[in-house]
Each structure stands twice: as C-alpha cells, then as structure tokens.
Amino acid sequence: MRMISVLPFSRYRLIAIAAALILPALAFIAWPHAAHASGVDGETQFVLNTFAFLIWGALIMWMCAGFTMLEAGSVRTKNAAMICLKNIGIYSIAGLAFFFIGYNLMYSNVQTVIGTVVWPLHGPSADEIALLGGDESALAAVIDNGYSVMSDWFFQMVFVATTASIISGAMAERVKMWSFFLFTLLITAFIYPIVGAWTWGGGWLAGMGFQDFAGSTIVHSTGGWAALAGILVVGPRLGKFRNDGTVRATPPSNVVLVTLGVFILWLGWFGFNGGSQLALGTAADAVAMSVVLINTNLAAAAGVITALSVSRLFFGRIDLMVGLNGGLAGLVSITAGPDFVTHIWAVLIGIIGAVICTAGIKLLEVVKVDDVVGAVPVHLFAGVWGTIAVCIASGGNIVTQLVGILSIGAFVFGVSWVVWFGISKTIGLRVTESTERIGQDAAELGMESYPEFVLMPEMDDD
C-alpha cells in the first residue's frame, strides 16, 4: 500500500517539474526574439556608454594608488612619504591642468598639430544643462550624442594622470618636490595634450593612419621619454654607481607594497584597455570589450612568467622585481592593439615585451642610467615594441607606426630635456647631498614614513 501511494505522487511531481522547465523555454522560443531583434533603445545605450566611461575611468584613477604602492615600496624607507605626496599631487595637478588647458589643446578645433583653448571651459552641453533644468524636450538631443559629455572628459583625464605618474618612480629619491610638480604641470597641460592632438584628437598622425588603441606610445612611451630625459639631466643617486664601475644594490624597502602596487595596476589596466573600446551599447561592443580584457590579461601573465624565466640569464638569480616589471611590460606591450581575436598573439606580444624590458633593465645598469623602478624599460621600451606589434596582430602599417614612434619620441624627449635642464639651472632640480643622505621625508617634510625605525643615513662605500 505504501508503494502504491508514493508512485503516483512522484509521477505527478515529475510532470509538474518538467512543465516548469519546458514551458518557459517554449515561450522563449515562441516570441522573445522579436523583442530583442532591434537591440536596446537609444536612451539605454546612452546610459550604458556613460556608465562605462565613468566606471572604467574610476578604475584607471585607482592605478594612481598602484603607482604609489609600487614606488613607495621600491624606494628606501627614508623617501616613502615623499613618494606618497608626489603621487597624490600628480593626480591633483593633472586634473586641474587638463581641465583648464590640456583637454582643449587635445580635442578642441584640432587641425593638424594642436587645438585651441576655448571659453567657456569644457562642461556639460547646452542640451544636458537644459535637461538637468527639467526641459524634457532636450532629451532627444542629449541621447543623440551617445554619452554624457563630462563622462568622456573624465575618462580622458585619468589617462594624462597615468602618463605623469610614470615619471615619478624613475626619478625618485633625488628630485625636489616643487620642481617635479612644475614639470608635472607642463606635461599634463601641454606636452601630453599635443601628442594626443596628433593622434586621438584627429591631427596629422591620425590622418596617416597611426594606430594606438589605448596608448602604448601616446601614454606610456610619452611618460617613458619624459622620464628618460629627466634621469639624464638629474643624474644617478649618490653611490649608485661605484668608482670601480660596479652597481650598488638598492633593494626595495617593501616588496609587499611593490607586489600590491603591480596587482592594482593590473586591475586598473582592464579599465585602461577595456574602456578604450569607447562604447558599451551593443552586443558587438560587449564582445569586443571582452576580447580586449582577455588579451590584456594573457599578455600580462605571459610577461610575468617570461621575465622570471630569463631573470637568471641577465641577473644570475630569479628576481621578483624583474618578474613584476615583466608583467607590467606585458600590459604596456598589449595596450597599442589588444582588439584582435586570436588570443595566442597576446601571449607572444607579452613574452617579447617582457624580454625587451628585462634586457632594458640590464642595459640601463651597464650604461649607468639610474631608473629607480624600471619605468623606462617598462613604459618606453615595451611601449615602442607594443606599437610595432600592432603591425603583426592588428593590421597596422609599419612605416606609419615608426613615424609615430619617432616623431612622438623626438618631440617629448626634446621638449622634456629642455624643460628639465631649464628647471635645474633656475629653481634647481636636485636636492642637496645632505637631504639625499638623510632622506626627503625628514629633510623636506619633517616626518618619517616608519617612525619606529632608527634613521640610518647612508655613507659612501666606494
């Protein structure tokens, strides 16, 4: 009797479950395709595009924290507070300079070389202001633009802050704060925007067909060229290169912070490259953005493993710092052209970028150029490679790419060298010898990053 009562119940229950699963599927087959055939409406596309600019921009802004952690952990403890101050200053100066001057020079009325500063300054469009004031008739015109005007400005601004952040770590531990801030103002207000006008702003390099999806050259090589010029003008840190030609080791004070910084930068790079799709209003945009993010991740991962693998060849040991820089080099290398669908290319580009970066770190030691964090090999050397790699995977023209690399390099390095040299001869670029020995934290800021430690000024060991 017990078996007879249970079986019918189970059968009915099975039928009910099957109906619950099958009927919705049949309903989906019957009618939803017509509803989705036309895609989302214009206002939804506007919201998605704007949201993408703002969220990806916020993620790129967080890269400033990554640079801060990387640099603060790479320098000696006596200079960590100055690094923190410089990096928050960089972001603040970049935001103001790009608002008042830089954005206009990069995007407003660009003919071939440079735009013009217009008044009133960049802000919401007249239609957006009317909509905020309650005028619903302005909605159609606002939507027709595709995205909020200021969301685009914000996304562009965080790129210029990244460019300036590259320079800080390369020249750490020996440059005066206000002198560095002056150069930051000039690169964010003028140097970077002029490069941007040539390319993303529709200037002469854009007319030639120069390709740089998210800025291997426009952002990273620009920062690298400016850093190289500054390093050459200011010279190496005291005692970095001994009289007998050997290199004095200056290991990072906190490898945990450096590693955290690299992870933050890796995360932010998804916004850097993914956001450069510049749209998220269609299925095609979503697919393309997904491809970009995967290629970005693959190149970085390949860069880490490759750099660790070759570090013994160049430095006689497996080197954590080299591995971390290899990951960043992979990210820089893929940035110029991450929008291809054959993912194996991302791995190969990251591998080559990491080898170039690792060899570049060794090269700078040989020629006695003191780059504290390896910014030049990571951002300049790998940036050049990434811009050339566009010809391999993303259909770039090698002549055009080389013209872009060389012209941007000559302009940025030349102008930066003149500015750095001018600063050094006027207000002064380098801190005093006593300040460098004691550390900028105590000498310039009157504080210590780790006050429980005993301050030990370093002496020459030649």
**Domain ranges in the chain?**
42-445
Can you tell me the mean pLDDT for 326-339? Answer: 97
Q: Please state the φ and ψ torsions of residue 247, each to the nearest 5 degrees.
A: -100, 130
Is the distance from CB of 420 to CB of 406 less than 8 angstroms?
no
- pTM, to two decimals: 0.88
Residue ranges in 187-319 assigned as alpha helix (H) = 192-198, 204-208, 222-234, 255-274, 283-315
For 55, how many CA atoms within 13 A lie in the half-sphere containing its CB?
A: 10
pLDDT digits (tens, 9 = 90+) for 81-107: 999 999 999 999 999 999 999 999 999
CA–CA–CA angle 292, 293, 297 (5° rounding): 120
- Cβ partners under 8 Å of residue 363, min gap 6: 377
Is 42-445 a CATH 1.10.3430.10 domain?
yes
- Lowest average pLDDT, out of 19-23, 218-222, 347-351, 415-419, goes to 19-23
What whole-number distance in Å separates Cα of residue 182 and Cα of residue 171?
14
pLDDT digits (tens, 9 = 90+) for 27-40: 333 333 333 334 67
For 201, how many CA atoms within 13 A lie in the half-sphere containing its CB?
A: 27
Distances (CA, A) of 34 to 37, 38, 383: 5, 8, 46
pLDDT digits (tens, 9 = 90+) for 376-390: 999 999 999 999 999
Collapsing DSSP to helix, strand or coil, 17 comes out as helix
Collapsing DSSP to helix, strand or coil, 247 comes out as strand
Is the distance from CB of 222 to CB of 416 less than 8 angstroms?
no
What whole-number distance in Å separates Cα of residue 23 and Cα of residue 89?
61
**Two tokens, residue 215:** 């800025």
What whole-number distance in Å separates Cα of residue 129 and Cα of residue 349?
45
What whole-number distance in Å separates Cα of residue 322 and Cα of residue 244?
25
Is the distance from CB of 189 to CB of 106 less than 8 angstroms?
no
> Whose CA is closest to 77, among 441, 379, 351?
441
What whole-number distance in Å separates Cα of residue 106 and Cα of residue 101?
9
Is the distance from CB of 430 to CB of 174 less than 8 angstroms?
yes
Is the distance from CB of 113 to CB of 183 less than 8 angstroms?
no
What whole-number distance in Å separates Cα of residue 274 and Cα of residue 278?
8
For 358, how many CA atoms within 13 A lie in the half-sphere containing its CB?
A: 31
- On the question of pLDDT at 235 being above 70, the answer is yes
pLDDT digits (tens, 9 = 90+) for 205-232: 999 999 999 999 999 999 999 999 999 9
**Two tokens, residue 362:** 């060794």
